[in-house]
Amino acid sequence: MDWYPLFNSLRIAAVSTALIFFLGILAAYYVVRMPRLVKGVLDVVLTLPLVLPPTVVGYFLLRLLGPKRPIGLWFLETFSLRLTMVWYAAIFASAVVAFPLMYRTARGAFESFDVNLAYAARTLGRSNAWVFWRVQMPCCRQGILAGAVLSFARALGEYGATAMIAGYTPGKTATISTTVYQLWRTGDDGGAMRWVLVNLAISAVVLLAVNMLERRDRRPRRPAAER
């Protein structure tokens, strides 16, 4: 059994999740602080990939990154780097499709944050950066963690946009999702089922790990005097 689709899917999901983790937090942090009208417009734009069909997202990415398009042509002529039909092209597709999940959950966490805690920290002379990392982020970590996990799972299972921008080449661009489809299309139901079970196992392990972290975080902490 060729394990390349598993390795490729995991690295694509990991890289795209790491990318949108910071971008999603940054976007959510600033959108929450904007006026209602601007917030509404940006929210629609940033959430749009969540409701668009993945093939539509893939089509737009091809229009942007194709070798005959301005961005793709510039990378090809400047760095001799193709942005389509290569394994890392799937990172763009997975990041765009999974970004709204990270953004929406992070935004919800920031909106539920008690701003009085930030005001209290600032009255003590703490900087905005200190308040963000030491006060706001710990209070919002459950929502942010949930967004990261959902983004990873979504990136791991992405098919439509990935198939359009990265294609399917065994040993080069194949992912679990595209491999399942190709095996099913060629009548290899046994091979397709094996990869389905692999995907299910990974998803179950990820969700189990998150549940364990959440239970650990909910444990009551003893006062320092009792330790």
Q: In the prediction, which pLDDT does 173 show?
A: 92
CA distances from 73 to 65, 82, 85, 161 (A): 8, 8, 14, 20
Say how far apart CA 128 and CA 14 lie, in whole Å: 30
CB-CB contact of 8 with 173 (8 Å)? yes
Q: In the prediction, which pLDDT does 202 show?
A: 86
Tokens matching residue 135: 């006060």
Say how far apart CA 39 and CA 174 lie, in whole Å: 38
| H helix intervals, the chain | 4-32, 36-51, 54-65, 70-79, 89-111, 115-123, 128-131, 137-156, 160-165, 176-185, 189-218
Q: In the prediction, which pLDDT does 216 show?
A: 59
Question: Position of tokens 């983790």?
Answer: 21
CB-CB contact of 165 with 69 (8 Å)? no
Q: In the prediction, which pLDDT does 12 show?
A: 95
Q: In the prediction, which pLDDT does 164 show?
A: 92
CATH number of 4-175: 1.10.3720.10
Q: In the prediction, which pLDDT does 225 show?
A: 39
Radius of gyration of the chain (CA): 21
Tell me how far the alpha carbon of residue 53 is from its chain's centroid: 17
Environment class of 153 (CB within 10 Å of its CB; exposed 0-12, middle 13-18, buried 19+): buried
Element (H, E) at 118: helix 115-123
Full pLDDT tens readout for the chain, 227 residues: 689 999 999 999 999 999 999 999 999 999 988 888 898 899 999 999 989 999 999 999 999 999 888 899 999 989 999 999 999 999 999 999 999 999 999 998 898 888 888 888 888 888 888 888 888 888 888 888 888 888 998 898 899 999 999 999 999 999 999 999 999 999 999 999 999 999 888 888 877 876 776 665 555 544 433 44
CB-CB contact of 173 with 90 (8 Å)? yes
Q: In the prediction, which pLDDT does 207 show?
A: 79
Q: In the prediction, which pLDDT does 214 show?
A: 62
Say how far apart CA 116 and CA 132 lie, in whole Å: 13
- At a CB cut-off of 8 Å and minimum separation 6, what does 89 contact? 65, 82, 83, 165, 166, 173
